[in-house]
Amino acid sequence: MIMVGTRPEIIKMAPVIRALEENSLPYTFVHCGQHYDYEMSQQFIEELELPKPEYGFKVKAYSPGLQTGRIMTLVERVIKKTKPKVVLVEGDTNGVLASALAAVKLNVPVGHVEAGLRSFDLRMPEEHNRRLVDHVSTYMFAPTENSRKNLERESVWGKIHVTGNTVIDAVIQHLPMAERKANILEKIRFENFALATAHRAENVDDPHVLKSLVEAFIEAPLPIVYPVHPRARKRLRQQKMWKKLSSSRNIQIFQPLGYFDFLVLMKNCEMMLTDSGGLQEEATAPPIRRLTLVIRLSTERPEAVEAGFARVVGVEKKGIIAAMEQALRKRDELPRASPYGDGTAAKKIVEIIMKEAF
């Protein structure tokens, strides 16, 4: 069973689904409903030419606990009905934790794609989720040696396999499709620009941090292209910052973009500013190779920092602007190879499942 619930999970599981099909391995595709609006999920499934999920839920919950509990209940029903030999989850969302727990309670082995990531920052809900999922998983597919060491330090009981990250497979497989189909560059009004995203709770739910990010984007030394996540848009309106942001001539705002549009923007931007973990990885893919300024206090992707692709710049306006100015002044040559693998992670994961679970 392949479980997804958010845009990054769909993207990172797409190569696994293709590898399963290449090996004629039967699977059930389930959308657990964490992101239930069209833009954030179904659009991606259609763009990537993936099959429609056989089971899909719309989970409207007003607290993380309610959301996790609701998804767990719904997923348990599907596992009982379909009786999979292994449930594959990817990442660190509430949907991933709920799906893993539902499987474990029914004695179905869990395979965790992208296991072993650690920010060591327990203010992040994702840090709780990824640690818990790793400790109930039978198979852990660690993207890097660093992730493997994290898992060994915690004495996880499941089997650890270092496979690389399927996000690199996804970029390599999808960028040619994106360049054929996407016309987003025609809509960009700047010749050179930085691509920004901000959606994490510890950033957009904190009025001080949100104000700092808005001011940094407005005063940035390079124009900003900013697709606004629904959560961020809601908080910007609540905090009366939306008008100031949307009227700035230095910023071009978009609704959440399709994956292909986003890939093309990544390839054509000067640099990225993001609090997303997945984008820190995608930026290292050989066809992209872009510097990423991480607008957070920590990252669970130290490999991107060590390789020179990413810099953690914090959430204060002064630090973000200074980092952008430095990057524009000193344009370092980025490595040719990604620290997250060579694009064969999904193939390795499926080979391990065929050997271990069947």
Which residues have a catalytic role annotated? 199
Q: What are phi and psi of 84, to 5 degrees?
A: -70, 155
Judge contact between 195 and 272, C-beta under 8 A: yes
Q: How far apart are CA 312 and CA 299, in angstroms?
A: 7
User: Which helix (H) or strand (E) is 237 found in, with range?
Assistant: helix 230-238
State the burial class of residue 32 (Cβ atoms within 10 Å of its Cβ: 0-12, 13-18, 19+).
buried
Q: Looking at the DSSP assignment, which residues form a beta bridge with residue 224?
A: 194, 251
Buried b (16+ CB within 10 A) or exposed e, 125-159: bbbebbbebbbbbbbbbbbbebbbebbeeeebebe
> CA nearest 132: which of 114, 162, 156, 149?
156
Residue with tokens 């060590």: 306
